[in-house]
Amino acid sequence: MGKLRIMITVNHQKHEVDVEPYETLLDVLRNKLGLMGTKPGCREGECGACTVNLNGKAVLSCLMLAAQAAGKDVLTIEGLQEGARLHPLQEAFVKNSALQCGFCTPGMIMASKPLLDANPNPSEKDVRDSLTNNLCRCTGYKVIVDAVLDAAKSVNKKGAHDEN
Amino acid sequence: MAYFRPKEYCQPSNIAEFFDLLSKYQAKARIIAGGTDLLVQKPFGTECLIDISGLGLSYIKKTDSGIHIGATTKVVALENSPLLAQNPFAVLSEAAHAMAGPTVRNMATIGGNICNASPAADLPIALMVLNASVEIMGPGASRSLPIGEFFVNVNKTALKDDEFVLEIRIPRSPRSAGTSFLKLRRHQTAVDLALVNTAVSVEKTGNICDNVKIALGAVAKTAIYAIEAQKYLIGRKLDPEVIKSAAKIASDESQPINDIRGSADYRRRMVEVLVRRAIETCTRRCQLWEN
């Protein structure tokens, strides 16, 4: 039997891809769609580097078959910016120097986005809780948490501006 | 073949289709839902992955007989369900919240967690003190097993090759029952499996214990009830000395092993601490309802 043809929406774009039954979403994103922003870390659900959003929720793309994402909406780090404008989370990570090697960053940002979407005023504990599945071996986490809180502030400012 | 290279992935849309696939591939089929255990284990020799997430088994329902939870219900749904927000059912949402990290909880399912049958799993012990039953469906017949009899060994359940778990049923419980879930990890804020976990449920009149269930995880080949400790407590006054003795009995009943997370001796001592604290919490929560 072998290959399955699936329809999958990645970063607001529909794709028709042929996948193997055992291929993970992570491998299909990277190897078949060329989206290298989603990182393979441990490939067993420990590190969170491969975190993407599936229908608006943070999931681990290494523990999900591509076939299971068929018909669903996948958002990766590449889909966050609008044109040349970075997402507030991306801006805040740059501004707060919330990375050193950067390998965990896409996962950190994709784990934080659903939090900010659901709760634009998160506490430090909310941020830390939503990042418990994500490992960083460089920063000691403080700057990452600061960046997410900072992003929440600018999301709120933007929201207030939009209403005016 | 030495690799995980299933040739087929199927997502049946009804039970009949599901059993056709299962009987075709039998032991060479693997059921997948959340994937958070299966895609780590990557079992060799798997020929077909049967995804059961299209069978409509994601629900938490209140019925006349209690609460029914579909096998593919996500752990995050247990955490957030208003039906599980209050005592005594809150022990299940507490266990759900203690499990893995938020990203894994968005994917993992209750059926997968019990079918993986890890002795350290968090949901089974909570279900045990709630007297839950597992509704099992085979090609010809269905059967129901008390959750305590569902686990037969490390990663081994009472399921036959041609059966699967349809739902978990929690019977109505007296609102006066107090429950508690506690989990000890190597570092309490990190994502980790339990060194020891325990769930307890207490019903009492005045200060006399009418009924108690104590379930222990990570200290035997399966999750276990501390049967002797339960027997000891029933009919006794729940004062600090009695609670202490019960915790000691529970600790003696545990059969932990040494592993990278901790020594058997440390685990036995921690059973005592966790059981004592859990009974104390249950007692307080009973009182909340009495007032």
Band of pLDDT at residue B140, cut at 50, 70 and 90: confident
**Reported pTM:** 0.94
Q: What percent of chain B has pLDDT over 90?
A: 91
Q: Given an 8 Å threshold on Cβ–Cβ distance, is B106 in contact with A64?
A: no
Q: What pLDDT score was predicted for residue B116? A: 97
Decide yes or no: CATH 1.10.150.120 for domain A88-163: yes
Q: What percent of chain A has pLDDT over 70?
A: 95
Q: Does residue A18 belong to the interface with chain B, where contact is any CB pair within 8 Å?
A: no
Band of pLDDT at residue B1, cut at 50, 70 and 90: very low
B6 contacts in chain A (CB < 8 Å): 21-22
- B177-210 pLDDT per residue, tens: 999 999 999 987 778 899 999 999 999 999 999 9
Comparing CA positions, the residue from B10, B42, B35 lying closest to residue B23 is B10
- B222-276 pLDDT per residue, tens: 999 999 999 999 999 999 999 999 999 999 999 999 999 999 999 999 999 999 9
Q: How many CA atoms lie within 13 A of A24 on its CB side?
A: 26
Pick the residue with more confidence: B92 or B291?
Answer: B92
Q: Is the confidence at residue B20, as pLDDT, over 60?
A: yes
Q: What pLDDT score was predicted for residue A157? A: 83
Residue with the two structure tokens 């890890």:
B118
- A97-146 pLDDT per residue, tens: 999 999 999 999 999 999 999 999 999 999 999 999 999 999 989 999 99
- Which string of DSSP letters, residue by residue, matches B128-189? HHTT-EEEEE-SS-EEEEEHHHHEEETTEES--TT-EEEEEEEE---TT-EEEEEEE-SSTT
Contacts of A36 (CB under 8 A, 6+ apart): A30
Q: Given an 8 Å threshold on Cβ–Cβ distance, is A133 in contact with B11?
A: no
Which of A3, A18, A63, A135 to probe the B interface (max B CBs under 10 A)?
Answer: A63
Which of B103, B113, B189, B193 to probe the A interface (max A CBs under 10 A)?
Answer: B103
Band of pLDDT at residue A1, cut at 50, 70 and 90: very low
Q: Given an 8 Å threshold on Cβ–Cβ distance, is B9 in contact with A4?
A: yes
For chain B, list the domains and their CATH numbers: 8-53 (3.30.43.10), 60-171 (3.30.465.10), 178-290 (3.30.390.50)
CATH superfamily for A4-79 is: Beta-grasp domain (3.10.20.30)
Omega before B124 within 30 of 0, i.e. cis: no
Band of pLDDT at residue B157, cut at 50, 70 and 90: very high
B50 contacts in chain A (CB < 8 Å): none
Q: What pLDDT score was predicted for residue B188? A: 79
